[in-house]
Amino acid sequence: MKKEYLTFVQRLEDLVERKEIELTIRDLTPGQRKYDAKVVKAVLSGSPEGLPDGDILWVRSWIGILYPDPWGIKILGEVGEYLSGKPHGETLGVD
């Protein structure tokens, strides 16, 4: 049984197929821990069929609109619980 995850992207083009990338995903397994987040290293495919030994990745836009077709995701490992960076870095980084 494939597991299902969720990620949010600023632009759909940020998701690259067949290349190792880091992203934050949320676990959609029903129960008390649904939506738990982790930062993972993974390979993606534009459809679950493209990664037969992978899981399902649902994608939402940066304002939360669900793209209708899920992607495939093969998790290679957990990178950690968080990312390095300065709070409000995005605001401070824009003039």
Partner 1 sequence: MGFKDLREFIDALDKKGELVRIKEEVDWDLEAGAISRKAYELEGPAVLFEKVKDYPQGFRIFGGSLGTFRRVAIAMGLSPDVSVKEIYAEFERREASPIKPVIIETGPCKENKLLGDEVDLYVLPAPYIHDGDGGRYMGTWDVVISKDPETGWQNWGMYRFMIHNKRFLVGFPRYHSHLGMVLHKKYIPRKEPMPIAVVIGANPLDHMVATTPYGIGVNEAEFSGALAQEPVQLVKCETSDLLVPANAEIIIEGEILPDKVASEGPFGEYPGYRTEGIRMGILCQVKAITFRTSPILTMISLGVPPDDSSIAASLTAGIAIKRRLKKHNIPITDVYAPPEGVTHLIVVGVKRGGAEIARKIGEILTARRADINKIIVVDEDVDPFDFKGVIHALATKCHPIRGIIVEEVEAGKANPITPCYTAEERRAQRGGLAIFDATWPPEWKKETDVPVKSSFEVIYPQNLKEKVMRKWQEYGFKKEVK
The residue ranges that bind partner 1 (CB under 8 A) are 8, 10, 24, 26, 31-39, 60-66, 81-92, 94-95
CA distance 44 to 20: 8
Residue 64 or 77 with smaller CB distance to partner 1:
64
CB of 21 to partner 1, least distance (A): 14
Beta strand pairing call for 37-45 and 20-27: antiparallel
Contacts of 89 (CB under 8 A, 6+ apart): none
Nearer to partner 1, 1 or 94 (CB): 94
Q: How far is the CB of 70 from partner 1 (least distance, A)?
A: 15
Spacing of C-alpha 2 from chain mean position: 15
Residue among 19 and 86 whose Cβ is closer to partner 1: 86
Minimal distance, residue 63 CB to partner 1, in Å:
5
How far apart (Å, rounded) are the C-alpha atoms in residues 84 and 82? 7
